[in-house]
Amino acid sequence: MSETTETIFSKIIRREIPADIIYEDNLVLAFKDIHPQAPVHILLIPKKTIPTLADAESEDHALLGHLLLTAKRLAEEAGLKNGYRVVINTGDDGGQTVHHLHVHILGGRQLNWPPG
Ligand code: AMP
């Protein structure tokens, strides 16, 4: 893997650094965000290295569907009966800081709109 695609999330997938992992299957991994912005703040990532949503390709169709359905399942399991927010920050203007595609699942409080 090249240095440009290696991120802290790759290290979490390989268990080289610790994370509070809450779900894993053959395609995705979910863990608690280290700086939670809400009472529930889960990060859900594909194990495949895709730097940003903008880099996803048609062959990732099923993987992206699996990510969203897993986000729904994790939100249900976290008890977010009153709603939640799913966010994919993409690229510099999108505020993405870790260049490994990830889904934020936020809930447990009233979330504001629009975001900053
Ligand atoms: P983004 O700004 O969309 O790229 O989100 C990156 C997220 O990764 C931020 O919410 C960080 O708090 C979170 N984060 C960074 N490093 C870690 C880590 N080692 N474990 C868990 N979450 C992390």
Fold type of domain 8-107 = HIT family, subunit A (3.30.428)
Record the tokens describing residue 61, joined without a space: 């169709």
Rounded average pLDDT over 23-42: 98
Catalytic residue chosen out of the listed positions 99, 100, 102, 104? 102
pLDDT for residue 105: 99
Rounded average pLDDT over 51-72: 98
Pocket test for ligand 1, best of 35, 87, 106 (most atoms within 8 A of CB): 35
Which of the 8 DSSP states describes residue 107?
Answer: E
- Whether residue 86 is predicted with pLDDT greater than 80 in this model: the reply is yes
Q: In angstroms, what is the span from residue 33 Cα to ligand 1's centroid?
A: 6
How large a percentage of the chain has pLDDT more than 70? 96
pTM for this model (two decimals) = 0.96
**102 catalytic per annotation:** yes
How many residues are recorded in the chain?
116
Residue type, 44: L
Supply the mean pLDDT for the chain: 96
- Whether residue 66 is predicted with pLDDT greater than 70 in this model: the reply is yes
The ligand 1 atom at the shortest distance from the C-alpha of residue 102 is 3
Contact of 67 with 17, CB cutoff 8 Å: no
pLDDT for residue 16: 97
Rounded average pLDDT over 19-25: 98
Rounded average pLDDT over 53-59: 98
Closest to 48 measured CA to CA, from 35, 34, 62? 62
pLDDT for residue 4: 58
